[in-house]
Amino acid sequence: MSQNILIIEDDADIAESLHYNLRREGYRVTIAESGEKGLRLALDEKATPALIVLDLMLPGMSGLELCRRLRRETQTKTTPIIMLTAKAAEGDKITGLETGADDYVVKPFSLKELVARVRAVLRRSEKESTDIYTDEHLTVDFDDMRVTCDSEDVKLTRKEFALLRHLIENSGRVAARQQLLDNVWGYSYFGDTRTLDVHIRRLRQKLGNCGGCVETVVGIGYRFVGCK
């Protein structure tokens, strides 16, 4: 069965263009013109979306507010979200990603690029396993997105969790900065690598006693070495 994509966008022209192009790729597409309607459709158990394309500037409930709400709901806490916005500043992108978006596309955008990003995000989502990593101090449940250090819960943003996951899945190997950006932020990321360094710093701080499990490889990137 084809995957269902929910578009939450109040601009009718953009919504219809996305609808047409995604349908051509074989996806089923549902459109919501407001955050409130988008929330209802996202939580519809009979047509749960495989991915949500979410406009940042919506009437009533904003895209950021809706994204936060979706990440609190059990049904949508791991549903991939691509955020659309006219705001191109790096700070706005970081805010969107830290709120829980998987990717961030600035308007005006190429429809071909957006479709490619949809495919890339869905591929990454499908590859995610449901196993658990554990060592003497750190436990990471990839299915429930739960992290504990010395039995204490660690609250991570979706992007911080994705970073930790990628590092764990490549445990012992050096992950170059661009490799992490490509795999965690999405394909063809051309932003400042300082974005990555800020996220790594915050990840270590939140991990507390387990922060040393992420090692810096000077001039190259980062490596997961475990907590023993």
For β-strands 51-55 and 4-8, DSSP reports them as parallel
Beta strands in the chain (DSSP E): 4-8, 28-32, 51-55, 81-85, 103-106, 132-134, 138-141, 146-149, 152-154, 175-176, 214-217, 221-224
Architecture of domain 4-127: 3-Layer(aba) Sandwich (3.40)
**How far is it, in rounded angstroms, from Cα 53 to Cα 15?**
10
Looking at the predicted structure, is the pLDDT value of residue 192 above 70?
A: no
| DSSP secondary structure letter of residue 3 | P
Looking at the predicted structure, is the pLDDT value of residue 185 above 90?
A: no
User: For the chain, where do the domains classified as CATH 3.40.50.2300 start and end?
Assistant: 4-127
Q: Encoding tokens for residue 149?
A: 């250090």
pLDDT per residue as tens digits for the range 131-168: 788 888 999 998 888 999 999 999 998 889 999 999 99
Share of the chain above pLDDT 70, in %: 91
pLDDT band at 92 (very low <50, low <70, confident <90, very high): low
User: For the chain, where do the domains classified as CATH 1.10.10.10 start and end?
Assistant: 132-224
**How far is it, in rounded angstroms, from Cα 181 to Cα 190?**
9
Q: How many CB atoms are closer than 10 A to CB 126?
A: 10
Q: Residue 19 has what pLDDT?
A: 95
**How far is it, in rounded angstroms, from Cα 9 to Cα 59?**
10
Ramachandran quadrant class, 219 (left: phi over 0; alpha: psi -120 to 50; beta: rest): left
Mean pLDDT of 116-127: 80
Nearest to 83 by CA among 119, 61, 55, 51: 55
Q: Residue 130 has what pLDDT?
A: 52
Architecture of domain 132-224: Orthogonal Bundle (1.10)
Q: What is the mean pLDDT of the chain?
A: 86
Q: Which residues of 69-92 are buried (b: 16+ CB within 10 A; e: fewer)?
A: bbbeeeebebbbbbbbbeeeeeeb
pLDDT band at 89 (very low <50, low <70, confident <90, very high): low
Q: How many CB atoms are closer than 10 A to CB 50?
A: 18
Sign of CA dihedral 195, 201, 205, 207: positive
